[in-house]
Amino acid sequence: MTITSDDSTKELPLKSIPGGYGFSLLGPIKDRLEYFYFQGQDEFFTKRMCKFQSTIFRANMPPGPFISPNSKVIVLLDAVSFPVLFDTSKVEKRNLLDGTYMPSTSLTGGYRVCAYLDPSEPNHGKLKSFFLSVLASKKNNFIPLFRNCLSELFTNVEDQIFDKKEAKFNSLSDDMSFQFVFELLSDQKPSDLKLTSDGPALFDKWLLFQLSPLMTLGLPKFLSLLEDLLLHTFMLPPFLAKSSYKRLYEAFNSSAASVLDEAERCGIQRDEACHNLIFLAGFNAYGGMKVLFPSLIKWVGQAGEVLHRQLADEIRTVVKDEGGVTLASLEKMSLTKSVVYEALRIEPPVPFQYGKAKEDLVVRNHDAKFEIKKGEMIFGYQPFATKDPMVFENPEEFVGHRFVGDGEKLLKYVYWSNGFETENPTANNKQCPAKDLVVLVSRLMLVELFLRYDTYRVEFGKVGLGSSVTIKSLTKATTVQ
Ligand code: HEM
């Protein structure tokens, strides 16, 4: 393992932050076109990191004009400087969930929902505590409910392979995630039967109106400028998403009555709680799973048959010895746990984090210190921080066993939840309150997969903000469970 140099006692030179922003309007537009079309996301950062010989530099982050009032950021690309973004005593997180712009609150009933609040705002603590207690109260449902949803998912995958020789995993996974999240929060199946089939599309449309400035549709090159004009130059008009959102509101308002009653007991107005619940279900949970599950299936699929055999052996042995799939049995699956962490490390589902300096700060990377002024926007590109070659050996490689045994020490460098994997979400920080649930459902996905199948093959590409995955074949389990 490479030795990290994050020893804060080490004396480092103070350097000024390299890079710049170019002319107003032109600089941000040039950076945006390079980011989306001429260089691409990763190359945009790699090129500048090499040019400035620094993991910390200045650049504009998309979307820029005319959506972001100010697109100037200080980019952080290493494992040492990145965590300054978790320290809410040093950075303000107000209205920064999507970066340098904030979607209209008319998409969330006129409310600034929890994820847009800074912990210094009293409403953040109130809402986050409520979410943490809702999740705690549903804890016993997680495993049985998610396994039911997975069972339906794999039946659908098999049916599609039977009919069409391949299964489009993303849409089947989205249907499953919607079902899981809705049932978890409402304690019932979507009451309006049409919502079961329409639900994912309703959320997708509503998400598009919030996230279009960060997306590309992967159109042919000659359409790039048109796409840039449509998605990245002006916000899509929110009123076009109104009818979809109304249906979601009505469904959650009637089906999640017990959660909303509890919100009122916690001093949160029912209407505000319902809009927050939709955001939690649709943006945080469904939106997160929309990226997470295809990514997990892609990386494990690509890793090949040897890893598949090892996972199947571990999972089947533990389930047999422990008499079932329980929290305790999952805890004993060290390879399965490691594989999930490795997928979250190599491709964190939420790759961007932002924070505005609350005061003048000094931030360090492996080889220097840099001054950041109060009010400057700090931006961390997480896939580089969690592939920092000073921390992770062969960082670009998917190493299933990376976090087994002694490798567990590296978990503190896994940042997917907007916090250290070794720490926990609280009402005072901005770490994902569903951190443990997300890890749990990812493990369950692998458990269910390798209880049923020995191996599988995938093809993949890019879509929206994540990977598109097609399952080409599934080989049924040959050993008895
Ligand atoms: C499935 C994959 C998920 C991923 C990858 C994910 C990731 C994240 C990340 C990175 C943040 C911090 C955003 C920021 O401020 O920069 C966050 C916040 C949040 N997440 Fe998750 N999340 C997931 C699922 C969920 C689920 C299932 C729930 C709830 C059921 C949830 C609820 C929230 C909430 C409420 C916040 C805002 C926390 C705050 O404001 O303090 N997330 N999530």
* Residue pLDDT, tens place only, 303-346: 999 999 999 999 999 999 999 999 999 999 999 999 999 999 99
DSSP 337: H
Nearest Cα residue to 32 out of 72, 63, 59, 75? 63
Q: What is the distance in A from the centroid of ligand 1 to the CA of 96?
A: 13
Phi, psi of 469 (to 5 degrees): -130, 130
If you average pLDDT over residues 472-481, what whole number do you get?
A: 86
pLDDT of residue 1: 37
| Predicted model pTM | 0.96
The best mutation among 417, 432, 441 to test binding of ligand 1, ranked by most ligand atoms within 8 Å of the C-beta, falls on 432
What is the spatial distance between Cα 410 and Cα 401, in angstroms, rounded to a whole number? 12
The best mutation among 102, 114, 284, 430 to test binding of ligand 1, ranked by most ligand atoms within 8 Å of the C-beta, falls on 284
What is the spatial distance between Cα 151 and Cα 238, in angstroms, rounded to a whole number? 36
What is the spatial distance between Cα 92 and Cα 90, in angstroms, rounded to a whole number? 7
pLDDT of residue 130: 98
- For the chain, the average pLDDT equals 95
Residue nearest to atom 43 of ligand 1 (CA): 432
What is the spatial distance between Cα 351 and Cα 353, in angstroms, rounded to a whole number? 7
| Alpha-carbon distance values, 268 to 105, 112, 166, 274, 279 (Å) | 18, 14, 47, 10, 15
Q: What is the distance in A from the centroid of ligand 1 to the CA of 41?
A: 22
Task: List pLDDT tens digits, range 339-390.
Answer: 999 999 999 999 999 999 999 999 999 999 999 999 999 999 999 999 999 9
pLDDT of residue 2: 36
Residues in contact with 362: Cβ distance below 8 Å, sequence separation at least 6, in sequence order? 14, 369, 370, 371, 372
Task: List pLDDT tens digits, range 413-432.
Answer: 999 999 999 999 999 999 99
Element (H, E) at 363: strand 361-364
Tell me which residues have their CB closer than 6 angstroms to ligand 1.
93, 97, 114-115, 128, 131, 280, 284-285, 288-289, 292, 349-350, 353, 416-418, 430, 432-434, 437-438
Q: Which CATH number fits domain 2-476: 3.40.50.720, 1.10.630.10, 2.40.50.140, 3.40.605.10?
A: 1.10.630.10
User: Binning pLDDT at 50, 70 and 90, where does residue 193 land?
Assistant: low
Ligand 1 atom with minimal separation from the 185 CA: 30
Ligand 1 atom with minimal separation from the 441 CA: 1
